[in-house]
Structures are given as structure tokens and as C-alpha cells.
Amino acid sequence: MYAPVAVDSGVVESADALRIDGAATVERLREFLRGRGEVVEREVEFVREQGVRRIVADIPFLAGEIAGSAGVECIGISNFTWNWILEPYLREAGDTDSLSVIEGAYGNMRELWQPGLSQPDSLGVFRRVRQVPAIARKRRLDPKSVRERLGIEHDAYRAVVFVASRGRLGMDTLLRAATGAPEFLFLVAGEVPAGLANVRSVALTRELNFSEVVGASDVVVSKLGYGTVVECMSAGKRLLYPPREGFAEDEVTEREAPRFLNLAPIPLTDYAGGEWRTYVEALLRQPPPREVTNCRGAEVCAEMLAER
């Protein structure tokens, strides 16, 4: 049974998804907290009606409050928690009350399971913290078959570059990137400039999903989000990323990920200007990472849940 429910307020990002608007994020959180009582009441009723014995959450703090009110166990699974992400903005706004609500709700969770590349502190609110391997989606298709489905000819291009940026990326940026590197094939999940032979639009589906396209690419151009980073690690792909401002998790990733992943930043001016070729070429020349990481976190978590 599935129904969409707003259980956290997230952060307010800029249009290019590279910056956090701290003031707007705090205000949206306050608005969410003012109406949380109704959400908790409704979800507690659902939990009891359906005979739910355990809630598994990634990682809305409200799940802990719902579990506490319903008298059931709650397990959190995430590389970061919202008290850690939001604390700098809440303290700047002088809003320790909202922070206390978040931490109090997390305190109702029985355990937090942390996959690789996770926050190093602000974990004292949890009763127990357990480490699990990194969590990546299991790919079911081999890269060759994915390329065939996408109509990519074998060895027709020097490299396949998957442009997976979530923020708004202008057509002029893609145009300059593609015309400046005709030996690369650019895959884009969305609208693409017309008339360019080395740019393809990819329609992501349940079967031909993000993970499968990453596996069929050589380089991914994307923000430094946890999901993208771990998918690249799991598939052994290279990641070119524009630096973001205000995302605490990026500091952890930039420090820890190079052991397992070939990645490199691209200055924002060159990123927006489509001057990608030099950075992609440098990334392709990097030697393989020193270590291989275990990305079986999903299976490990499932086994741990089954044993409870």
C-alpha cells in the first residue's frame, strides 16, 4: 500500500541546485512543524489499523515521532540526518526550539544504520548507531545491452558522458559542451539541443533506470549527491561535479570518496560555460582508485531487518 505524505521539509535550493537558501529553508521547516501534529495523528492511526510493527525510515525525523506515539519500533537508514544538515541554519536563525523537536523525534528511533560516506558527528540523539556497507541499486543489465538499447555504436565515441545534473542546466551549456567535445557522446535525461549528432536524450524507465545508464557510461557529470556517488562507485565509473555551497555532506564525500572513486570538481564558471572537455579528459587519465568499496548495503540491511 502506498500513499504520498509530506514527512519532512527538506531544504530550499537555488534553481541550479548548487546552493541552499538558509533563511527559506528555516521558514519552510517552521511551517512544516506547525502542521506536524495532524500528520502524526493520521499516520499513527494508519500504523495501528494496518498492524505495523516496525517503521523503516530514510530519514524523516517525523518517523520517530510517529513510531513513539504508536508504540512501535523505528529504524533509520541514512548517510545523513536532518539535525546535522539543518543545525547551522537553525542556530544562525536563533531557532534552537526547532532543532530540539528534530532531535527529540530522532531519539524515538531504536537504531540508526549508517552506510558508507556518512556524517561523522551529531549522532548522540540516537540510542544506537550501526555501520553498514554503502547502498547502491543492483544493476540487472550488462553495459553492452544498455548501449545497444540506447543505439550507441560500439567504439563510435571515445567516451560516453552521462549528464545527470538535477538542477536546471541551460541548452546553451549543453550545446557548448557537446560542440567542444565531438569525440564524446553525451547522454541527457531530458530535453537536448537539436541538430547535434553526439547528444542523445535518454528516457529513464523502471527497467532502463538511472543506475543502468550510469553503468553504461564512462563519465557521469552530476552534483555530489550520495546516490550518484555510490552508483558511480558501484559501477566503477568516473564523476565530474560542480561544487555546491552549504551542503555539509559534500565535505564528507570529497574527503572520503577518492579512495574508492575517480572524481574531480569542475569550476562553476567552466561548468556553466560548457567548458567540460579538458576536465573530462583529465578524469579519464586518472589511474583507478586505490580501494574497492562494498556496496551491498541494501542486502545487508534487508538481512538485518529479517533477523529482528
**Cβ–Cβ < 8 Å for 165, 138:** no
Average pLDDT over residues 14-39: 95
Give the range among 112-121, 163-172, 233-242 with minimum mean pLDDT.
Answer: 163-172
Note if the bond before 59 is cis, omega within 30 degrees: yes
Quote the CA–CA distance of 277 and 25 in Å, as a whole number. 35
pLDDT > 90: percent of the chain: 84
- Amino acid type, 271: Y
pLDDT band at 192 (very low <50, low <70, confident <90, very high): confident
Domains of the chain: 22-134+300-307 (no CATH), 143-285 (3.40.50.2000)
Average pLDDT of 246-272? 95
Residue 161 main-chain phi, psi, to 5 deg: -115, 115
pLDDT, average across residues 164-190: 88
Q: Is 27 exposed, middle or buried (0-12, 13-18, 19+ CB in 10 A)?
A: middle
Q: Encode pLDDT of 88-133 as tens digits.
A: 999 999 999 999 999 999 999 999 999 989 999 999 999 999 999 9
Q: What is the mean pLDDT of the chain?
A: 93
Integer angstrom CA distances of residue 30 from 96, 162, 302: 12, 37, 34
Model confidence band, residue 2 (pLDDT cutoffs 50, 70, 90): confident
| Residues with Cβ within 8 Å of residue 241, at least 6 apart in sequence | 221, 222, 223, 224, 263, 264, 265, 266
Instruction: Write down the pLDDT at residue 105.
Output: 97
